[in-house]
Amino acid sequence: MHRIVEIEDRILETPSTVTWRFPYAEPCAPGQFVMVWIPGDDELPMSLSYTDGPSKGVTIKAMGPTTRHIQSIPAGSRIGVRGPYGNQFDATPRRLLVVGGGSGNAVLAPGVERALRTGAQVTCALGATTERELLFSERLAGAGASVEVATDDGTAGTPGFVTVVAQRLLAEGAFDAIWTCGPEVMMRKVAELALAYGIPGYGSVERHMKCAVGMCDACSLGPYHVCLDGPVFRTEALLSLEEFGRTKRDPSGRRVPL
Amino acid sequence: MHRIVEIEDRILETPSTVTWRFPYAEPCAPGQFVMVWIPGDDELPMSLSYTDGPSKGVTIKAMGPTTRHIQSIPAGSRIGVRGPYGNQFDATPRRLLVVGGGSGNAVLAPGVERALRTGAQVTCALGATTERELLFSERLAGAGASVEVATDDGTAGTPGFVTVVAQRLLAEGAFDAIWTCGPEVMMRKVAELALAYGIPGYGSVERHMKCAVGMCDACSLGPYHVCLDGPVFRTEALLSLEEFGRTKRDPSGRRVPL
Amino acid sequence: MAELSVEIAGIRLRNPLLLASGIWGESGQSLAGAWDAGAGGVITKSIGSEPRPGYPNPTVEEFGSWGMLNAMGLPNPGIAEYPREIAIARDRGALVIGSIFGGTAEEFARLAREMEATGVRALELNLSCPHAEGFGTEIGSTPQDVSDVVRAVVREVKVPVIAKITPNSADPAGLAVAAEEAGAKGISAINTVRGLAIDTTLARPVLAHGIGGLSGPAIKSVGLAAVWQIYRKVTIPIIGVGGISNGIDALEYVMAGARAVEIGTAVAHEGVRVLGRIVRELDDTLTERGVARLADLVGAAHRGFNVPTADARP
Amino acid sequence: MAELSVEIAGIRLRNPLLLASGIWGESGQSLAGAWDAGAGGVITKSIGSEPRPGYPNPTVEEFGSWGMLNAMGLPNPGIAEYPREIAIARDRGALVIGSIFGGTAEEFARLAREMEATGVRALELNLSCPHAEGFGTEIGSTPQDVSDVVRAVVREVKVPVIAKITPNSADPAGLAVAAEEAGAKGISAINTVRGLAIDTTLARPVLAHGIGGLSGPAIKSVGLAAVWQIYRKVTIPIIGVGGISNGIDALEYVMAGARAVEIGTAVAHEGVRVLGRIVRELDDTLTERGVARLADLVGAAHRGFNVPTADARP
Ligand SMILES: Cc1cc2nc3c(=O)[nH]c(=O)nc-3n(C[C@H](O)[C@H](O)[C@H](O)COP(=O)(O)OP(=O)(O)OC[C@H]3O[C@@H](n4cnc5c(N)ncnc54)[C@H](O)[C@@H]3O)c2cc1C
Ligand SMILES: Cc1cc2nc3c(=O)[nH]c(=O)nc-3n(C[C@H](O)[C@H](O)[C@H](O)COP(=O)(O)OP(=O)(O)OC[C@H]3O[C@@H](n4cnc5c(N)ncnc54)[C@H](O)[C@@H]3O)c2cc1C
Ligand SMILES: Cc1cc2nc3c(=O)[nH]c(=O)nc-3n(C[C@H](O)[C@H](O)[C@H](O)COP(=O)(O)O)c2cc1C
Ligand SMILES: Cc1cc2nc3c(=O)[nH]c(=O)nc-3n(C[C@H](O)[C@H](O)[C@H](O)COP(=O)(O)O)c2cc1C
Ligand code: FES
Ligand code: FES
């Protein structure tokens, strides 16, 4: 059932990304997502960027018509929320490497905070196209993570892809687990690194979603359904899928290039 | 929902009355009734004559086609049961007078046993047409009640109506409450006695039942519904009803003489 | 305190909650009890020409707390006996609507005359009982049937006539349109949805009649769909029925297009005090949301709503 | 171990549980997954002539654990793209039934030819989607429509044709009879029941399309009633659908007259392992009750059952 809630807080994170905080009593875990309904517009899957306490949050990047429209919706507006759905990030790593890109950082953030609270050592490699688009690097550094940054245009941190930073961190330090979320080409690279270093990897994946409860098949990914078996998968499992990083299904169910 | 159960025990109580014991896990209280479905035949309201433990019981007197058919149904047969429905006898009297007639004794029995277990003094005046039809006098005497009997034909106890015995008991002893169940003319007399002696009276009443959940209006009795507000009523309330002891409704809802 | 009174078919109701037909409707004292409990009006059991005992038990099967199947078989004391029950309810001040059922348009017309004479404020025609051979849905399943019955009744009586429509139809709105064109002053939607339950240990239907009608929360969305579609096709007021058990449910119906609602299955277990509770919930909700008049919300969910096409996206 | 295999429309199923159309039916790997989980067969998503994205979200609203409303809008990749998905499922050994929908009898016939060419073992015609403008119920709501479509399809293909019937009808059995007379070799009943949900704080329908279809436990009794009535009118096998979520539910359908059943909404949250669970429950129940062959129970609830009259009692 949809619950109608008011956006209590609206934070402009970057020029193209907004966070909404809203009251939502359901227990939620890092990695899980909710379906967010903009009445009169679409309903979209959004990972929770804040999972603790009575007030949950999502962080939304402008990608198409609805997510662009979302950027201008004021606090106090009403939205529909259902969920949480899906699985969560493993709660037990001790030395954790996190590799995020773009809005993927928002998906990873609450899990990083939880890991830090339970005493883990967390190193984050966070990527963005440009400095102003960099998401949650301060939030995670403030929480106690060691944060390295990469931007495509070199306006902050290492110039180039975040995977390069990740590769260096893996060469330098020891990790028990790698978490990743971002563009699939990036995640494929991280998955390959995890394999090469023999470290368990976990990646949060996106596919088109409609029902979110494992019925309509919209989100099928190989033998899996992202809404039911994911969104967090072992990167080994992802690597074995011919679709991963290459194709997805459009709303009609046709396979299209990613 | 109907639960289908097997009759585990079948006891011929009198030539016209049979008791069925059956497994039924729902908690039940003295005074409450269940709907008993004879597959292929009717479904009828029956007060519980055994309310404790995993095995409940009903005691059924042959009155018409279905209750006659019931007398010959063997143990091991399957019946449908739903409920329990309705309210219960007051659980707190200390000195209790019980006035039963015919199959009404079965309705009163589990309440008497409960009262005795909680330390009450119980005096029972039990009536029947004839000795062989007398129901549960040994059961209640065995449980510790002081039992007096009346039969219409004088084959046992005081000849004549049980209300005469009740009147004598009321004149002799002191009581905190009177319970009654039997033909309505008998109950009306008991209700008047309760009023005259200023003792709270409770009577269990029958009306035609269909839904048993307070919806169809079949069991309406003045402003009450026997399935919802009863079957146990304060006798004062019953006395105030023009219908009590005089008319009932047939299955079509027409008022007919009792 | 929000203004809850509404007008349907020229009758002002103190609030939009009506006791549904077949619930607490055989006895005048029960009808009066529902009125005293806070109903805006009470609808009688559907009354026919002759006393009718209905089907044998089991007549009811409950599904959890979200549904109920019944096949009562239209038991009723018959139109000759029934006026005394209505008199009891009217003497207590109740606003009574008389429900009738018949096998032909002529029978409906005859019953309507007799029912009108009891002083009821309106008639509800049961064109929609899903389990009575020869009555109900069988006579109300085509626009032509609905039209014939409504026309015959309207000719005979002065009180407003409300047609109660079945959901067991490809097009409930088409039935409503037929009723409006034939002179009905209101539409009630819906009656129960055709259903069946089987006990697998006995390998037989649970209800003595086999087929019955589903009611309760399970059919709320079905009733809402019917009211929604009917609202887009007729101008006479609609009375929403089906699965209402709290104030929000009632409000859903109002926003779908209902001007009043009926409460049936929710009376089970709780009794008619459920009517008072729902009135209070409705009042509290409106007050909380700053809505002064319930009537302003009738059909509110239609405003600004456009049906999207399946080709709206790439 | 009871014998669970059944024959429908000349096809032997290893057990009577089919994955319902529209559930895990867009991708070949999902169909294969349902087969691997234990289904007796899998039915594809209803496929049309062109790729169709379906309606915008929200497309689904859940009611507790007893009901679900959906208006997907028949999204599908189109018949040109779909054969590769069927090939994946067939390569894994799955028994696949192809579901199609169209706007006219001719379109159905054309799709049927193309679907048959993919190697499906039977066709299911979706004559019953309650929320797709111009398709589904709109084309399957009269016996004439059903007859026209079935006849056109049967002429074109060799595989058996199964007509999926709507419950949103005064007489689902009449639709089934029309399908049988037109050459259908099986009847599936039912599709979803027309429904609507409104959010009262927003004063608007919850689903983007407004009207949707109700599924899940709420409609089990509705599906059972349809199967019951159809069984009394046709001789071809019936596939029961609607609200089945355990072995007893499936058995109710079998006793009402179904030779096989489809599982839809029960897949939600649990995934297709629900199919394996229901097969096991069915097997355990039969074994416990000493029934050797499920097929012997088809229609068992009809034996010895007589509809009583309402005048059976004084
Ligand atoms: C599990 C999950 C979690 C997500 N978490 C976040 C998040 O935390 N922050 C964030 O900014 N984005 C997240 N997304 C992606 C987000 O849902 C899409 O960016 C958004 O739906 C785009 O919608 P649009 O209408 O603006 O764009 P469109 O122009 O419609 O599409 C832009 C992109 O979004 C995809 N998209 C559109 N509708 C859906 C849908 N119903 N389901 C999935 N993808 C869709 C399109 O396929 C396309 O790739 C998540 C997606 C999934 C599946
Ligand atoms: C709350 C309640 C508790 C009861 N408890 C007992 C009990 O413990 N033992 C017992 O022997 N009897 C009990 N009865 C009475 C019993 O239900 C009837 O005697 C029985 O229904 C008769 O059915 P029949 O078909 O054999 O007779 P019929 O010939 O049909 O009728 C004989 C009498 O029973 C009445 N009756 C028939 N059907 C019903 C019905 N559905 N509901 C109510 N009355 C009906 C008739 O009106 C008539 O007065 C109880 C009744 C009620 C309402
Ligand atoms: C036990 C019962 C008896 C009913 N009898 C009648 C009736 O006599 N006439 C009628 O028009 N509707 C009858 N109905 C239908 C209700 O009036 C109502 O339309 C339906 O139950 C849906 O509403 P609900 O979900 O609130 O019960 C009956 C329903 C029930 C449950
Ligand atoms: C999300 C969803 C999508 C569906 N899509 C189709 C479809 O494409 N074709 C079809 O014939 N039925 C479709 N149906 C109907 C189901 O096949 C089934 O008939 C109905 O849901 C009742 O069964 P259930 O209660 O087990 O779900 C769909 C149902 C749901 C819930
Ligand atoms: S979104 Fe429907 S199956 Fe995942
Ligand atoms: S038996 Fe139906 S109201 Fe009591």
Instruction: Render pLDDT for D29-48 as a digit per residue (tens, 0 to 9).
Output: 999 999 999 999 999 999 99
The pTM of the full predicted model, rounded to 2 decimals, is: 0.96
- The number of the ligand 4 atom at minimal distance from the alpha carbon of D215 is 25
**Is the peptide bond prior to A84 cis by the omega test (within 30 degrees of 0)?**
yes
Q: For residues D44 and C24, what is the distance between their CA atoms, to the nearest angstrom?
A: 48
pLDDT of residue C132: 62
* D198, D214, D219, D231, best to mutate vs chain C, most C CBs in 10 Å: D198
Q: A216 CA distance to ligand 5 centroid (A)? A: 5
Q: Which of C129, C177, C250, C282 is catalytic?
A: C129
- Given pLDDT bands bounded at 50, 70 and 90, which one contains residue D312? very low
- Given pLDDT bands bounded at 50, 70 and 90, which one contains residue D313? very low
Residues contacting residue D65 through CB under 8 Å, at least 6 positions apart:
D217
Q: What are phi and psi of B122, to 5 degrees?
A: -120, 130
> What architecture is domain B95-257?
3-Layer(aba) Sandwich (3.40)
User: Distance (Å) from the C-alpha of residue A239 to the closest C-alpha of chain D?
Assistant: 17
pLDDT tens across D227-253, in order? 999 999 999 999 999 999 999 999 999
pLDDT tens across A170-203, in order? 999 899 999 999 999 999 999 999 999 999 999 9
pLDDT tens across C50-71, in order? 999 999 999 999 999 999 999 9
pLDDT tens across D160-214, in order? 999 999 999 999 999 999 999 999 999 999 999 999 999 999 999 999 999 999 9
Mean pLDDT of all residues in chain D? 94
pLDDT tens across D274-292, in order? 999 999 999 999 999 999 9
pLDDT of residue A1: 87
Domain ranges, ordered by start, for chain A = 3-85, 95-257
Percentage of residues in chain A with pLDDT exceeding 90? 97
CB contact under 8 A, B217 and C26: yes
- Given pLDDT bands bounded at 50, 70 and 90, which one contains residue C313? very low
pLDDT of residue D130: 65
* CATH 3.40.50.920 is the classification of domain B3-85: no
Asked if the model's pLDDT at residue C136 lies above 60, the reply is no
Which secondary-structure segment (H or E) carries B191?
helix B184-197
ipTM > 0.90? yes
pLDDT of residue C182: 98
Mean pLDDT of all residues in chain C? 94
- Given pLDDT bands bounded at 50, 70 and 90, which one contains residue A93? confident
- The number of the ligand 5 atom at minimal distance from the alpha carbon of A45 is 1
Q: C20 CA distance to ligand 3 centroid (A)? A: 6
Q: What integer is the mean pLDDT of A22-32? A: 97
B210 to B217, B220, C195, D170, D305: CA distances (angstroms): 8, 11, 19, 28, 21
Nearest CA in chain A to C304: A40
Q: Do residues D164 and D128 make contact, with C-beta atoms less than 8 angstroms apart?
A: yes
Which secondary-structure segment (H or E) carries B60?
strand B55-61
What's the number of CA atoms in the CB half-sphere (13 Å) around residue C102? 24
Pairing of strands C258-263, C17-19: parallel
Subunits next to C (3 or more Cβ pairs <8 Å) are A, B, D
- Given pLDDT bands bounded at 50, 70 and 90, which one contains residue A92? confident
Percentage of residues in chain A with pLDDT exceeding 70? 100
- Is D28 in CB contact (< 8 Å) with chain A? no
Do the two chains B and A touch, given a threshold of 8 Å on CB pairs and at least 3 pairs?
Answer: no
- Given pLDDT bands bounded at 50, 70 and 90, which one contains residue C314? very low
Name the one residue in this structure whose structure tokens are 């207590």. C92
Q: Tally the residues of chain D.
A: 314
Q: For residues C38 and D21, what is the distance between their CA atoms, to the nearest angstrom?
A: 47
pLDDT tens across C218-234, in order? 999 999 999 999 999 99
Kindly state if the Cβ of B253 falls inside 6 Å of ligand 6.
no
User: Given C27, C58, C265, which is nearest B215 (Cβ)?
Assistant: C265
Q: Could you say which DSSP state residue D52 is in?
A: B
- Given pLDDT bands bounded at 50, 70 and 90, which one contains residue D138? low
Q: D76 CA distance to ligand 1 centroid (A)? A: 19
Percentage of residues in chain D with pLDDT exceeding 70? 95
User: Given C196, C209, C221, which is nearest D308 (Cβ)?
Assistant: C209
Residue ranges of chain B with per-residue pLDDT less than 50: none
Residues contacting residue B43 through CB under 8 Å, at least 6 positions apart:
B35, B36, B37, B80, C56, C57, C58, C59, C208
pLDDT of residue B1: 87
Residues of D taking part in catalysis: 129
Q: Measured between beta carbons, which residues in chain A are less than 8 angstroms from residue D94?
A: none
Q: D279 CA distance to ligand 4 centroid (A)? A: 20
Q: What integer is the mean pLDDT of C25-36? A: 97
3-state secondary structure of A77: coil
Q: Measured between beta carbons, which residues in chain D are less than 8 angstroms from residue B40?
A: 304
Asked if the model's pLDDT at residue D133 lies above 80, the reply is no
Q: Do residues D178 and D147 make contact, with C-beta atoms less than 8 angstroms apart?
A: yes
Domains and CATH numbers, chain C: 6-48+78-193+214-302 (3.20.20.70)
Q: Which of B46, B72, B73, B181 is the best mutation target for the ligand 2 pocket, counting ligand atoms within 8 Å of the beta carbon and taking the most? A: B46
pLDDT tens across C262-300, in order? 999 999 999 999 999 999 999 999 999 999 999 999 999
Strand pairing partners for C100? C47, C125
Do the two chains C and D touch, given a threshold of 8 Å on CB pairs and at least 3 pairs?
Answer: yes
Asked if the model's pLDDT at residue D128 lies above 90, the reply is no
User: Distance (Å) from the C-alpha of residue D174 to the closest C-alpha of chain B?
Assistant: 29
* A41, A85, A210, A224, best to mutate vs chain D, most D CBs in 10 Å: A210
Q: Measured between beta carbons, which residues in chain C are less than 8 angstroms from residue B254?
A: 51, 77-78, 81
Q: C202 CA distance to ligand 4 centroid (A)? A: 30
Percentage of residues in chain C with pLDDT exceeding 90? 91
